[in-house]
Chains A and B, each alone.
Chain A
Amino acid sequence: MINEKIIVAGFGGQGVMLMGQLLAYAATNQDLNTLWFPSYGPETRGGTANCQVIISEEDIYSPVFSKCDTAIIMNGPSLDKFESRVAPGGKILINSSLVSREVTRTDIEVIKVPVNEIALELGNLKVANMVMLGAYLEVLKIFSIDDIIKVLKKTFGEGKSHLIDVNREALKIGSKSTK
């Protein structure tokens, strides 16, 4: 049964909010229960940003949780903040391009993805979040890359449709990177 609690965290400009929202949109499209909740307020500017997502086949009650199943960590400060919040046996995906230190916990699975490097290779640092999302899709195993692309198309609208291809590419490479 699907019941996944996710934290996505990083710098303000890294697109962590969008990552969470894409998952929630995809869940909505599949008639799953879902809930997305951002850290909001001035801290987002410049500082760190994070959001929490719940995806579940059951009714979702508490929108907040002390422990998540998966944490997606896009920068160093976020690792410091959220490492302890992963449930034992949970997973932590780490942007190894920006996170220098090692995860200290041993009761969780660590997946490192050098997302910035990969994105730079793709010629667009902005898709770093998609690389990471691709990696997570592989971990979550609920949504396909196409599910996300479908959502992205809607989110981008006409204006940014030319960006779909590079995003698809990023998702793909990301999903392969965990293997």
Chain B
Amino acid sequence: MSRIRQLDVAVSELVGDGDVVALEGFTHLIPVAAGHEIIRQGRRDLTLCRMTPDVIYDQMIGAGCARKLVFSWGGNPGVGSLHRFRDAIQHSWPVPLEIEEHSHAGMANRYTAGASGLPFAVLRGYAGTDLPEHTESIKTIECPFTGEKLAAVSAINPDVGIIHAQQADREGNVQMWGITGVQKETVLASKRSLVTVEEIVDELEPRPGSVVLPKWAVTAVAEVPGGAHPSYAQGYYERDNDYYQRWDPIGRDRERFQQWLDTEVLNVERSAR
């Protein structure tokens, strides 16, 4: 049964040090406010999973929340590199960062296996690449009918899956639309789940292309208007492309980053509603 919570309460109830945590959202509906709340609560040693660890994971890594990153593409989309991510991998700053690296198809199938209650998934993937050599969660499997060799990837079942959606109703049923990425799979694969939403409405009005998560499949819902900024929430606000540009010089410099962290995350009380 999903319960409507304040963001800070939900994060403190659901996310603990050392947890495997997935914040998903493919360009659209990235749960940024929830990520900042995790930083604010000082969580440590997290294994952070995300197909596209962009600015929000750069921030969480820079803030020292992560022990390990599980991912398939780590960049600032349309801008360039993630400098906190690079600094952590290349110079162990602020703490060493272990990585587990996949392709998008591999990560998507790992969440799908997790959501399906299977220990692994099969795909035509990774053939001829150097990734399997460095990633233990990729193996080869043989088709029992044709003998063909394919890739197998192990399931991801995070302790906590966090996504952002446009709406929930007062009972905690969730609706999102537009590009919905791998969010349904993330919630269904996770032991506990948190959905931040733009607004809580009396009734969810069915929409073309919407994905609905019934309340009993979600642990907690928190109303956080603007909770996906600087990414976007279709029907609510556009992507703040300038923010992604402005992040580049901040992320490049440890001191500027620390200053940003102090003024924009640690010493503000965002989100509680």
Whether chains A and B associate is no
Task: Give the interface of A toward B (CB within 8 A).
Answer: none
